């Protein structure tokens, strides 16, 4: 179902109007709505893949890297897995209507703090058409309307997906204006979204550190920052070798391109001779390039000299930076300087060291003796992941559906006035 | 204890460093710290009043209104009541260290979501020296450092109060850099604070709608909006006369200059002849000027014609706007257009109307049959009020000390890696 409104502002106003009825839908109605969207995506695989083929051809002609082309591409299997993901979100519990506080004042006034949808959620993201479906499904499941701005390289795919989803809304008797895109306005669409105070309640950027920085800096709409992860693992003097090796290899190798992969290893000087050679060898055996400081290079072979830049770099590849530190204070100082406050872990057999690390590190998730790859909504048991917040306002760490709601106080009285 | 750092950035960096040790203080240490501050304020009444006298003299010479001069003025009694308020905050429960979620994954990884201080809280506010002490006490009680920017008209008073409070920190063995001001940098100080991403974790503006708008629009630091209240009371067709009169008079008259006072009364057409004459008369008897639409003016004497502007105005005075509406839908539409999403109330004997109003109004606090004056941290039982959030991110409605904390996930493992 195509969009007719001519300006970003008109579309956002339509989304706001639609959000009112959406916010009143029952749990069952929202779940049905999502199942309808999943069915519609399945029924329109051919149309969606055809639209995507245009984007991919244009992307290749424009010289997109193979990695970006891969993220852009939708074949039949990927479209069907998108539909399946929407069905999974349908099965999650309704985050709306939870009673979070309940108190009766001495004068009999009954106060309840309940969870309610934000209203309109905006998202700015890169050329990954799966995010279009993902965010729309999460927003609708939590009773919100959504205004999407994906990367221009995915414009045809996004238009097809949004048209299919809007059709499913209309079929379910829900206002199709609840899903909007401002893709066709290019940068002006993004700008309108970032300045849409009063029309859009919260903006969730998803993508590169640069995209997130732009959105945070230019938005007057409240933003939930997600993503960037310069993630550290500290090997304490007491770190058991087996945990050190297993956890570091898992955190680096299992999926190097994601934000919870480790980027920098900090090794206590007293354990360097014991731990560096086997840990580096285990990493190298998995194809990891180790960027080390001078001490690391002296302890293991095949180590590339780390540059000053490495410490601040989210490699997102089979690269890891290794530095020898003088102890816990030195490790904490390094983390303070370079951490993006996503996830930090320490491997130690010393409880006092563990508890100090947990208390003093300022990050969304602080771990002891575990792989940083666990920072994930699915692993945490949330069922769906909106993103991983690396800021301190509203939500911190993996965000599930409840983080797409706000609260409202309801006060039921019988004539109470203030003395 | 005076500040030596020469730039806003240096001061904010000092605050950040101080915040680390502050965040680790025990409940008892923080309570003692606040009691020490209260004692120091009491011991320095003369110095503080003398500094304030300079501000007041300058303010009078600059032509400040009597109302602003009154808000600026500190005499001995007011200084002692400031100290008493700090002692009250000392007695509140520690908002830090609450376990908000606790789960053990199938693999044995133990996850806990705990409340932690933000780190550094910034505040921009107007020439009210009591806010300087108020915000500093709330920030410290919740383990945060604070960077303050008060109105330039209160600069001498703020400098004296901050110097006294910093001295109390030093006496308690706490880094005095935990309290900072950027007052002496004028507008550049405010600008530095609004752009201090990475140094300041959250910014709380307090003051006029215009001040808040500026802070929201110009800040790259996350902001919690507080304040503006164009507050409505709806009189349903079924509204009992006694509740209508008592609640409307209380909501307008008890303290007209605050954000939870009512500004606009919307009366169901079917009840207008019954309710408007006595309610208007009761308001006028308390000195209220009633700005009404034509129907209101026809039903009661002494009604001033309401202008289009009145509906969007936070009078903050003994003025009220009155409009006759065609029913609940019309009332809801009016509220959607003019509400600042602070507090909205309906007086009704009809449960279905009440529940529809509670469900459909988008505001921080939605009331049935109660005075809007109850939207207040003290009345809600929070002990202290940081402000009333009129936004949807992080906090909504009255904010107590817990709203000055964020969260951190702690993960305690024994070698877990991700499959």
Per-residue pLDDT, A4? 74
Give the predicted TM-score (pTM) of the model: 0.92
List chain A residues with CB under 8 Å of B109: 370, 374
Per-residue pLDDT tens for B191-249? 999 999 989 999 999 888 888 889 988 898 999 988 788 999 999 999 999 999 999 99
Of A118, A374, A415, Cβ closest to residue B411: A374
Is any Cβ of chain B less than 8 angstroms from the Cβ of A198? no
Residues of chain A with pLDDT under 70: 1
Domain with CATH 3.40.605.10 in chain B: 8-223
CA–CA separation, B204 vs B216, rounded Å? 10
Q: Where in chain B is the domain with CATH 3.40.309.10?
A: 231-379
Cross-chain CB nearest to A202 (options B220, B224, B392): B392
| Alpha-carbon gap, residue A100 to A104, rounded angstroms | 14
Q: What is the rounded CA–CA span in Å between residue A236 and residue A217?
A: 38
Give the chain B residue nearest A215 (alpha carbons). Answer: B220
The size of the A-B interface in CB pairs under 8 A is 199
Residues 6+ apart with CB under 8 A from B333: none
pLDDT value of position A216: 87
* A105 near B CB under 8 A: yes
Tokens for A384?
């769906």
Fold of A8-226+399-412: Aldehyde Dehydrogenase; Chain A, domain 1 (3.40.605)
Distance (Å, whole) CA A276 – CA A267:
8
Which residues does chain A have within 8 Å of residue B397's beta carbon, measured at their own beta carbons? Answer: 113, 407-409
Q: Which residues of A touch B363 (CB under 8 A)?
A: 408
Which residue spans of chain A are classified as CATH 3.40.605.10? 8-226+399-412
The Cα A106–Cα A113 span in angstroms is 17
**In the block, residue with structure tokens 């106003």:** A13
Task: Please check whether residue A15 is in contact with residue A180, taking contact to mean a CB–CB distance below 8 angstroms.
Answer: yes
User: Which of chain A's residues have a Cβ under 8 Å away from the Cβ of B118?
Assistant: 392
pLDDT greater at residue A12 or residue B3: A12
Domain limits, CATH 3.40.309.10, in chain A: 231-374
**Rounded distance between C-alpha atoms, residue A187 and residue A64, angstroms:** 19
The length of chain A in residues reads 419
> By the CB < 8 Å criterion, does A394 face chain B?
yes
Task: Please identify, in words, the CATH class of the domain defined by A231-374.
Answer: alpha beta
pLDDT-derived band at B29, boundaries 50, 70, 90 = very high
Has domain B8-223 been given CATH number 3.40.50.720?
A: no
Chain B contact set for A216 (CB, 8 A) = 197, 220
Residue A337 sits at the chain B interface (C-beta within 8 Å): no
Cα dist from B154 to B146, B150, B187, whole Å = 18, 7, 14
- Interchain pair A246, B415: CB under 8 A: yes
Interface test with B, best of A143, A245, A392 (most B CBs within 10 A): A392
- Scanning B209-238 for CB atoms below 8 A from A yields 216-217, 220, 222-224
Task: Give the residue on A whose Cα is nearest the Cα of B411.
Answer: A367
Task: Give CATH superfamily name and number for B231-379.
Answer: Aldehyde Dehydrogenase; Chain A, domain 2 (3.40.309.10)
Per the prediction, chain B carries an average pLDDT of 95
Burial of residue B278, with CB atoms counted within 10 A of its CB: 0-12 exposed, 13-18 middle, 19 or more buried: middle
Nearest C-alpha neighbor of B373 from the set A388, A190, A18, A411: A411
* Cα distance between residue B402 and residue B417, in whole Å: 34
Q: Does A275 touch chain B (CB under 8 A)?
A: no
Mutation choice for B interface testing from A219, A373, A412 by most B CBs within 10 A: A412
Radius of gyration for the alpha carbons in chain B, expressed in angstroms and rounded: 24
Identify how many contiguous H helices and E strands chain B contains and give both numbers.
15, 16
CA distance B227 to B73: 22
């Amino acid at each position: 179902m195509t969009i007719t409104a001519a300006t970003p502002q008109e579309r956002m106003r339509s989304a706001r109007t639609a959000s009112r009825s959406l916010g009143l839908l029952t749990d069952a109605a929202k779940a049905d709505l999502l199942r309808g969207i999943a069915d519609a995506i399945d029924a329109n695989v051919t149309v969606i893949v055809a639209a995507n083929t245009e984007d991919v051809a244009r992307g290749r002609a424009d010289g997109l890297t193979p990695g970006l082309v891969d993220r852009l591409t939708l074949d039949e299997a990927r479209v069907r897995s998108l539909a399946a993901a929407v069905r999974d979100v349908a099965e999650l519990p309704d985050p709306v209507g939870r009673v979070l506080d309940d108190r009766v004042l001495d004068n009999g006034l009954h106060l309840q703090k309940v969870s309610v949808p934000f209203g309109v959620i905006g998202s700015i993201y890169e050329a990954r058409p799966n995010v279009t479906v993902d965010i729309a499904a999460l927003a609708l499941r939590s009773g919100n309307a959504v205004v999407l701005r994906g990367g221009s390289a995915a414009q045809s795919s996004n238009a097809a997906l949004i048209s299919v989803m809007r059709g499913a809304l209309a079929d379910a008797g829900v206002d199709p204006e609840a899903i909007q895109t401002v893709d066709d306005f290019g940068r002006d669409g993004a700008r309108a979204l970032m300045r849409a105070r009063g029309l859009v309640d919260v903006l969730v950027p998803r993508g590169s550190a640069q995209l997130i920085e732009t959105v945070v800096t230019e938005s007057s709409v409240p933003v939930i920052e997600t993503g960037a992860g310069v993630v550290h693992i500290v090997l304490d003097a007491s770190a058991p070798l087996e945990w050190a090796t297993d956890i570091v290899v898992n955190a680096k190798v299992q999926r190097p391109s994601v934000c919870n992969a480790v980027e920098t290893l900090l090794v206590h000087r007293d354990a360097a001779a014991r731990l560096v050679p086997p840990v580096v060898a285990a990493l190298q055996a998995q194809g990891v390039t180790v960027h080390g400081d001078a001490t690391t290079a002296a302890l293991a072979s095949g180590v590339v000299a780390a540059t000053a830049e490495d410490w601040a770099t989210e490699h997102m590849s089979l690269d890891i930076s290794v530095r020898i530190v003088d102890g816990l204070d030195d490790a904490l100082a390094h983390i303070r300087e370079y951490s993006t406050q996503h996830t930090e872990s320490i491997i130690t057999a010393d409880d006092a060291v563990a508890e100090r690390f947990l208390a003093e590190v300022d990050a969304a998730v602080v771990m002891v003796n575990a792989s940083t790859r666990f920072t994930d909504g699915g692993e945490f048991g949330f069922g769906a992941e909106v993103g991983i917040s690396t800021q301190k306002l509203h939500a911190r760490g993996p965000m599930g559906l409840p983080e797409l709601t706000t609260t409202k106080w309801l006060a039921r009285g019988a004539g109470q006035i203030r003395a």
